[in-house]
Structure 1
Amino acid sequence: MSTQLDQVILSESNRTPIVQVIVWFCLVTSFLAFITHAGIKLYVFRALRAESGFLLVSLVFCIAQSIAALLQCGYGFGKPSVTLSSNDVQLTLKAEYAATILLFISLGFSKLAIVAFVHNLTPSKLHRKINYGVGALACLWLLCAVLVAVFECRVPRTWDRSLDRCLDRFTWWNAISIFNIVTEVAIIALELGITAQLRVTRQRKASIMSLFACRFLVLIATAIQLAYFHQEKNNPATNNDLTLGFWRSILCNQIVQCLAIVTTCLPYTKIFMEGFESGLIRIDDGRRRGDYASKGYSGREYQLMDVSRSSQARRSAPDKSINVSKSWAVSVEPAGRTQSS
């Protein structure tokens, strides 16, 4: 007795399987990255700071966005709209509407996580003022992106792009993507500018800066997504298909979201914390601990300390060595007495 299994075939008219695989892969990768980040911070510092809270919020919205994307695939996204019922098309557009809003919120909180991290990274007032400006820019981007996505079409059918009552998606998506790239450039420039002033060996400095430079992957993925969006918009065959036409650019959105979370967690990987055995903390925390400070080339101070668990145990362990001292008594007698004897 044979059992017939339903086979899903990937073809030009069915891109749903590849979208589902990428969504699951990005979701699992983002979750594991956050677990690694939180585990290392608890292992080393015994506490979670503000950046971990922002990153957790970003992950929560990432999970919600991934669920919306999977629902979108379940309703028929990745297949030609002519092969779907009108109800399935509407459900796909609703899921896409929710996924877009959740995507922007997840990306926004990943930016704020880096802003919070940089705040704890440097004691410089100038750098903190610049960081506040970058944070304000990220908040402005988040607010604008969410508002435009929410009111893309007229109420009450704000999700229905099949009606001719929506904003020019090509224009507002370009503006949001370019604004996103600008905020990412500002974040990367600030991180690299701070680490470039550390007085450490060139090899160590290059290693630390390379971790922060991995944020460029978000820029590259955003640029690729924008390129696919332009390509699909300029092609009449894909521009008019609401469920299959823009599958590449929507797929890139999942990758951008995943990279935003992963690159935020990279400075806390075990290789960074135990391989380099160095960290950057606030100068006032270091003074309370009695650690030493290293001055940058511009005179600004940055705190360097060994953050590996073993070294902290060595520093905190009491000195149980035994000190042995000896003493000798010296007596002086008069010279005449010595001669008479």
Structure 2
Amino acid sequence: MGRFLHDKDRRAPILNVVNWFLLVVAVLSVLTRLGTKLWMFHRFTSDDYLIMVSLLFAIGGSVSMSVAVHNGYGDHVGVIDALHWEAIQKAQYAGFLVFTSSLYFSKLSLSVFIRNLTPVSRDHFHATILQILLTIWAVVALFGSAFQCQASRPWDTSGTCIDLNAWQYYFCASNIVTDIFIIVQALVLISRIQASFKKKAVFATIFLSRILVILPSIAQLVLIHDVANSPDRSF
């Protein structure tokens, strides 16, 4: 098994392992959250249903990655024929759309959860503004990704396309900004809680853990140029 995973000419096995491992972590995290909510409150709320939808899209993203790997993603581009390369591109195209949808519902779920923590109308107004911004972000991201290349072959990045590098920079940067907005939403709410500084710090730490979600986006932002200009884009 170790030799299989460390084959220098194939990254497909490790991609599959990481892909399904992350999905299992996501499923267990959501199930734990839902189980805890059901045990404590005996019902689900709107943010729970949103995270369920996010998880369904995440499952779709993992399936898309698995399809891409099955067709040769993770192998050197020189050993992949045209038919399999097209299948990889289609899987990546579909995968990015469901990934974006999963991100949107995950962000929306957290924002709704934060909104539900307070009855203050001003906080609800701010939350509504943020949720509108998140929806606009998602619509732009999905529309731009769906029509990134010519309409007859939108998955074919070797055809006539928009500036894909610039688009990826925009997507990653806006993804980071929306996460920061959600963190700010939580911190503003916490600052108004009638509690000791220590308790506020504990609550803030919980929501500041969202920064861990931002780190992969920053890494993606840094690597966009190298990935786009790689002569071996499937490896």
Provide the TM-score with structure 2 as the length reference: 0.94
Instruction: Please say if residues 173 and 221 of structure 2, whose CA atoms lie closer than 8 Å, have aligned partners that are also in contact.
Output: no
Residue number in structure 2 paired with 1:58: 54
| Aligned with 1:98 (options 68, 72, 94) | 94
Measured in 2, the distance between the counterparts of 1:49 and 1:223 equals 32
In structure 1, C-alpha distance between the alignment counterparts of 2:222 and 2:10, rounded to whole Å: 22
Indicate yes or no: 2:142 matched with 1:142. no
Q: Report how far residue 175 of structure 1 moved.
A: 0.8
Provide the residue aligned with 2:182 in structure 1. 187
Separation in 1 of the partners of 2:99 and 2:5? 29
Distance 1:9 1:124 in 2: 53
Partner of 2:28: 32
The answer as to 2:152 corresponding to 1:161 is no
The correspondence for 2:193, drawn from 192, 195, 198, is: 198
Structure 1 residue aligned with 2:222:
227
Rounded to whole Å, the distance in 1 between the matches of 2:224 and 2:234 is 14
Please name the residue that 2:234 is paired with. Answer: 243
Offset at residue 9 of structure 1 (A): 4.8
**Structure 2, unpaired ranges of 5+:** none
The equivalent position to 1:78 in structure 2, one of 55, 74, 83, is 74
> Which segment drifts farther, 224-233 or 43-52?
224-233
Contact 2:38–2:44, Cα closer than 8 Å, also in 1 = yes
Counterpart of 1:173 in structure 2: which amino acid? Q
Shift of 1:241: 3.0
Counterpart amino acid of residue 219 in structure 2: I
Which residue of the partner structure matches residue 115 of structure 2? 119
Deviations 1:144-181 (A, max 9, x none): 11111111111211111132x11211011111111111
Structure 1, 98-107 or 75-84: larger mean CA deviation? 75-84
The offset of 1:11, in angstroms, is 4.1
Q: Secondary structure at the match of 1:48?
A: coil
**Counterpart for residue 323 of structure 1:** none
Cα distance in 2 for partners of 1:24, 1:151 equals: 29
CA distance in structure 2 between the aligned counterparts of 1:119 and 1:207, rounded to whole angstroms: 18
1:197 Cα deviation after fit: 2.2
The ranges of structure 1 where at least 4 consecutive aligned residues each deviate by more than 6 angstroms after the TM superposition are none
Larger radius of gyration: 1
Q: Which moved more, 1:7-16 or 1:171-180?
A: 7-16
1:13 is aligned to 9
Which residue of 156, 169, 173 maps to 1:174? Answer: 169
Q: Which amino acid aligns with 1:66?
A: S
Match of residue 85, structure 2, among 78, 83, 89: 89
2: CA distance, partners of 1:12 / 1:139: 42
